[in-house]
Amino acid sequence: RGLNFEITENTTGFDIDAAVREVLNANKPEGFEFSHSTGHGVGIMVHETPPRISSSEASKAPLKPGMVFSIEPGLYNEKLGGVRIENTVAIAAKDGKARIRTLTRANLDDALIDYDMLDETEKRLLYEYKRLKIG
């Protein structure tokens, strides 16, 4: 659900955070937590607003075309450390519909992916992600 989340003109950062959080919480290994926001606005400042991509009330404002933000889910274990993948995206309009346009994406190392944990849909989405054109 998080990888193929469709947006509308009413989608908020809260909605994106909830979709990502749902996937991570349902699949996280024991002892790992997703204890931060899903992303943040990108601009002149490191964490710029709007938009906010989190579970906070401030994230309930609709995302607008031209907004640039990170999507950076991560899981952390107090004793082992953690992992976070950060992509930068923008809200764009195409044929009158809002969409997420990828600006930058994290490269994934196949040696670190346990394909046995993925179903066929997840494998297809991962393959498509790796072939994704930027921009």
Residue 101 and residue 135 in contact, taking contact as beta carbons nearer than 8 Å: yes
Q: For the chain (length 135 residues), average pLDDT per consecutive 10?
A: 72 94 88 93 89 95 94 92 90 84 85 88 86 68
The DSSP secondary structure of 54-72, one letter per residue, reads SSSGGGGSBP-TT-EEEE-
Q: Looking at the structure, give the CATH architecture of the domain made up of residues 13-107.
A: Alpha-Beta Complex (3.90)
Residue 86 and residue 72 in contact, taking contact as beta carbons nearer than 8 Å: yes
State the Cα–Cα distance between residues 105 and 23, nearest whole angstrom: 19
State the Cα–Cα distance between residues 7 and 15, nearest whole angstrom: 9
pTM: 0.81
pLDDT score at 104: 87
